[in-house]
Amino acid sequence: MKTVAIIQARLGSQRLPGKVLRQICGKSMIERVYERVLRCGRIDEVVIAISDSAHDDLLADYCDSKQWAFVRGSEHDVLSRFVLAAQFTQADRIVRVTSDCPLADPEIVGQVVDVLDGGMDYACNFFPQRLYPRGLDAEAFTRETLSRLDAQAKSPRYREHVTLLAYEKPSEFKIGSVSNRMDHSHLRWTVDTELDLELVQTIYTHFSKLDQDLFGYSDVMRALSHNWQWCQINREIKQKVA
């Protein structure tokens, strides 16, 4: 059984254009995401799913320069891009990753894959209730589930938001969940604005000074317990609604 992480990426963010190539302590944001996902022992391969828009040619060139596997497909029909990537890699299980989450935790990703392997169609760590910080979202699903989503998703909303159909219609899928002991859902660790990027830069700089590259969710929470003012940096940023 082959488990493939598919990182969806584009340069056309409305609030922070080109964000995936912005630098975080000497490396691009998408490289930070790629490295973190690769550290998950449950992942066999990583592939980038890029839009075929000319605006994303630079991103494709960047991935090529890194010798990363990538596919290109519809800009707005992201679900079709995942189908293409799954076919390209011959994936049995798919882990969905977004390129604007540079604090993604390999351990949490692994836990979600483990839950999927318990006979689930789909597993995540934010349904039925979000308890982890936004930006630590982890999803995994089978190739069969991807095919079902592709066949059933008709509206542009479901085509753009790859797995939305699964957790909006939970009675039709066997859904497994990874929960958290504490509610940290008010924390925002995804990057969609300059202020989000400033927070992530602050966190990476902190661990860089400690010469600690392999830090995860619990490490960041410990750092925040001594530097809670960091949370004020992007506290007013509102999440876009799907």
In a domain, 43, yes or no: yes
In a domain, 110, yes or no: yes
For the entire predicted model, the pTM comes to: 0.96
CATH number assigned to the domain comprising residue 51:
3.90.550.10
In a domain, 232, yes or no: no
Would you place residue 242 in the very low, low, confident or very high pLDDT band (cuts 50, 70, 90)? low
pLDDT digits (tens, 9 = 90+) for 69-98: 999 999 999 999 999 999 999 999 999 999
**pLDDT over 80 at 241, yes or no:** no
Range of the domain at 104: 3-177
In a domain, 197, yes or no: no
What is the rounded average pLDDT for all residues in the chain?
96
**pLDDT over 70 at 226, yes or no:** yes
Element holding 221 (H helix, E strand): helix 217-226
240 or 141: whose pLDDT is higher?
141
In a domain, 82, yes or no: yes
pLDDT digits (tens, 9 = 90+) for 48-66: 999 999 999 999 999 999 9
In a domain, 137, yes or no: yes
Domains in the chain: how many in total?
1
In a domain, 162, yes or no: yes
Complete DSSP assignment for 95-131: EEEETT-TT--HHHHHHHHHHHTTT-SEEESSSS---
